[in-house]
Amino acid sequence: MTTNFFTENADLLEVFDRVVPWTRVVKAVEGLNANVNETVSTWREVLDLAGRYIGAEIAPRAPKIDEIGVIREDGEVRMNDLMTESLKGLAELGLASPSVPPDFGGAGLPFTVSMMLAEMLARADLATQVQHGIGWNSPAALILRFGSDEQKARYLPKLAKGEIMGAVAMTEPQAGSDVGRLTTTATPRDDGCWILRGRKQFISAGQGEMCIVLARLSGSSGLDGLGLFIAEREGDNYLIERAEHKFTIRGSPTCALVFEGTRATALGKPGDGWKQIVTFMNESRLGVGIQGIGVAQAAYDKAMEYAAQRVQMGKPIREHPMIADMLLEMRTIVSGARALAYEAAALQDLVMFSNDQRAARDVREITPLVKWYGTEGAVRVCRLALQVHGGYGVVDEYDVGRYMRDSLITPIYEGTSQIQSLMAVKDLMKWTMQRPATLVRKGPSRMLASASFDGRIGSDFAAARGHVLGALRLLLTRLVRRKGLGALRGRELSEEDLGPILLHAERITEALAHTHVARVLGERAKLVPERRALAERAARTARLVAERNRRAIALDDGSVLEQISAWRAQRQ
């Protein structure tokens, strides 16, 4: 039985030891004169310590944490005692909010290392990881980045030590991904305090002692009228209306909050809330993609263990070809998602600590793909693990049912898979329409165009990239036929004009994600030759997915957009 979720995870360990560009990360985070080997060794020791605690202490508590769920007593909402015990142990290890600098009592870990910690926690228990990530890390990151000296001194040491827990309250009942529709208001007072009024919904870790609230400056409109505000709950300054009853991440309180005359202080400049929250969302989406990897790893491990022990027709079921194929698919998804995610995490460190603009462009490209592939991949892996277990998969003591339930939240929160697709494709189409020559080159992006491999990996990767380009050419040709060449020259296009592109955004995103996974695993095979078979499988899958989706786009009969037009006519 695995007891160290770091050193006994061969793939994660290999990413740490042989793949992550630590020299660039260390010099960005610690300075040009930092001792790279010594720094990386320290970070490795931290992950080893965390891996032992998570594997030996947190993972065994997970089934009971899920069974007990959130405690609701006498109007109070809180975590159950087992989860509290797990989080207390992390705090005692100095890992409550590990990215907080040592000056404020934190470990000062870079984003990449913090995400490896997050992956291990998600593998042990996604509900506990959500409380750790949203309750401690997220508010600390926002305060560290945008807070005043006074706010940093007030909150960061307590968050770093696990003495308080916070939340980030953005979502409202009528405004999910449509942030511009937020109605919670912030009104200034003469004494510098702000008064919040409104409701927030689906707030993870909303039971904590404070929260950071996205609100609209009274009298404003649009995204430029938003601000971030810190509110403390002490003395019923704001109320927990309820904790939702969920079938997923049951141990994590997901709360509805009410602000009626709530006193708050501005976090950063009022009116900059949208710009501030975008930076948080980019990191958060990478984090959710990595949550998916953790859950998928847990499900894959269970499936491998069961398939080795379960004997049918005279041999372990892993020796039956269809089961073996399922296990290999699971392994490829987990390894591919991990490789792409930690490429993005390292780029994010370069952006955060050295303002590397090339890294900023690259991480912007792959962030929605990490979120899409890591979470959709988690659902796929958990579904396959359930199937490998057969009837036992629906029995609670085998855990895979919990993994299946928990995986289902990951493609939904912090921007659904469809939102990620729109983000990825809008950026890609904007780039392509500004540089149409990329459609007849290797394109469609610098990262994909510059990649090259030999043998079967190279031919399948090039074919996948070609199918992505073919799909883009097809969509842009249709657009030009309808709107003329001005569509490629910066002419403003309506949502109706872009309808065919938006319709197929997820097909393009799926093809892009698989092609990028083939790229990162191909690059990894150059460093670790024994991983070539894995890269070949990923490249072959990318080719098949990209070809299938290109054909689906080519065969579009227009019926979806016709139905939308009919519904629009009814509404008018």
Q: Catalytic residues, which ones?
A: 414
Rg of the chain taking only CA atoms, in angstroms: 24
Query: Rounded to the nearest 5 degrees, what angle is found at the Cα of 362, between the Cα atoms of 51 and 371?
Result: 50
Instruction: Yes or no: say if 286 and 367 are a contact pair by the CB < 8 Å rule.
Output: yes
Residue 492 is encoded by which pair of tokens?
């403003």
How many residues are recorded in the chain?
Answer: 572
| Nearest Cα residue to 271 out of 198, 191, 217 | 217
List 210's β-bridge partners, or say none: 232
Torsion of CA 26, 27, 33, 38, to 10 degrees: 10
Closest to 403 measured CA to CA, from 419, 388, 420, 423: 388
Residue whose tokens read 């009626």: 260
The string of DSSP letters for 463-478 reads HHHHHHHHHHHHHHHH
d(C-alpha 22, C-alpha 37), whole Å: 9
SS3 (DSSP) at 248: coil
- Name residues whose C-beta falls within 8 Å of residue 91's C-beta, 6 or more positions apart in sequence: 161, 162
Structure tokens belonging to residue 392: 């036992």
CA dist list (Å): 239 to 206, 211, 231, 258, 264? 10, 11, 11, 5, 14
